[in-house]
């Protein structure tokens, strides 16, 4: 449970746009900060430029280490016209007896800092460090995407690195963040039917 709370806290802090983490207490539902839902300036949620001609965003985050022996580094670009994320993720494990699973998630915010997008997590494992042939270090090319109707409204992106012990923990953390984004989208971008961000099941 402590590992789950730690992982949920990390991604929730980022999702709450610097306003504090999404509250979790036992089986209690996540408390979404009211600021995410409050009416904002007219320009919030509008495209940042002419669709098809918006400059790509670059990102880089180094978590060295992230936790224990797990080290992660993610660098790439986000195409705001197509919604495509392209990155190279470097994972390294410095511990001798413990393997890890690390994830990279990209959060997208509009001009007012509201959460308008989140990628499904990219997930990779690294073995414990032992002999020179062990797979305790790896570099992977990661490609994912979000709905282009959201992509052209993104003003900034943030990389979130996490460590999860089960796939269920990862799904819970992602779906909480997704719901925060969907609530904001329904308020600020009502022209979009429903929520174009998929759930993890």
Domain ranges of the chain: 2-188
61: left (phi over 0), alpha (psi -120 to 50) or beta: beta
Check residues 15 and 177 and name the one with the higher pLDDT.
Answer: 177
Q: Tokens for 80?
A: 């705001």
Q: pLDDT digits over 17-68, tens only?
A: 433 333 333 333 334 444 444 444 568 999 999 999 999 999 999 999 999 9
Q: Quick count: other Cβ atoms within 10 Å of Cβ 55?
A: 10
Question: What is the reported pLDDT for 14?
Answer: 59
Mean per-residue pLDDT, 188-192: 83
Residues 131-168 as b or e (16 or more Cβ within 10 Å = b): eeeeebeeeeebebebebbbbbbbbebbbbbbbbeeee
Q: pLDDT digits over 131-156, tens only?
A: 666 789 999 999 999 999 999 999 99
Averaged pLDDT of the chain = 84
pLDDT of 2 over the 90 cut:
no
Which residues are CB-contacts of 25 (< 8 A; sequence separation ≥ 6)?
Answer: none
Partner residues linked to 145 by β-bridges: 84
Question: What is the reported pLDDT for 33?
Answer: 42
């Amino acid at each position: 449970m402590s590992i789950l709370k730690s992982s949920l806290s990390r991604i929730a802090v980022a999702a709450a746009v610097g306003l504090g983490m999404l509250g979790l207490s036992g089986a209690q539902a996540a408390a979404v900060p009211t600021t995410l839902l409050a009416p904002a300036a007219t320009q919030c949620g509008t495209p940042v430029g002419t669709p098809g001609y918006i400059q790509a965003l670059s990102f880089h985050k180094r978590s060295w280490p992230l936790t224990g022996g797990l080290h992660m580094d993610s660098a790439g670009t986000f195409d705001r016209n197509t919604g495509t994320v392209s990155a190279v993720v470097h994972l390294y494990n410095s511990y001798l007896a413990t393997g890890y699973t690390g994830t990279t998630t990209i959060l997208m915010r509009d001009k007012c800092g509201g959460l308008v997008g989140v990628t499904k997590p990219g997930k990779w494992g690294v073995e414990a460090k032992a002999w020179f042939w062990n797979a305790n270090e790896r570099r992977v090319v990661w490609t994912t995407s979000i709905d282009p109707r959201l992509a052209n409204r993104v003003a900034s992106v943030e990389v979130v690195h996490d460590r999860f012990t089960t796939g269920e923990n990862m799904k819970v953390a992602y779906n909480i963040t997704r719901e925060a984004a969907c609530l904001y989208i329904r308020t600020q971008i009502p022209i979009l039917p429903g929520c174009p961000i998929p759930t993890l099941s």
